[in-house]
Amino acid sequence: MARREILLWPDVRLSISCAPVDEITDDIRALVTDMFDTMYDAPGRGLAGPQVGAMLRLFVMDATWKEGEKSPLVAINPEIVAFSDETCEMDEGCLSIPGITATVTRPERITLAWTDLEGYRHAREMTGAEARIAQHEYDHLDGLVHFDRLDAKTRARLEEIYA
């Protein structure tokens, strides 16, 4: 098991948009393996490249493993191609901001398109925890953390707690 260091906010790398993955190489495969090891060990349900200092548009996630059944997903160059009009509020945590949860409003359903490690393109509608995790990790690829989804007063209060 190769565990990578998880960057902690406000590390500047967590505020930078990531570059696309040009080619799926052995280095990318090793990175993904390390990211899963790191995520499961943390223990989290998702981890994006920039959270381990890899400034690439990829994330790993597993919405069900804490309930006893693993469903790992590798999303390379993901795109959220559709959002539902319906939204829901849910408490979110972040491995890069440990110990702090915040209530974030997000679309209830999304359609995510991504490339897998074998180079195949997929698209799937996601709901519930799966949609929430994918949106959270996707934000990291654009240099956003869940604090960026909060109103100024709530964010300031949580930043004070985290400091």
Residues classed as catalytic: 137
32-56 as b/e, with b when 16 or more CB fall inside 10 Å? bebbbbbbbeeebbbbbbbbbebeb
Distance of alpha carbon 142 from alpha carbon 66, whole angstroms: 27
SS3 15: helix
Q: What are the counts of helices (DSSP H) followed by strands (DSSP E) for the chain?
A: 3, 7
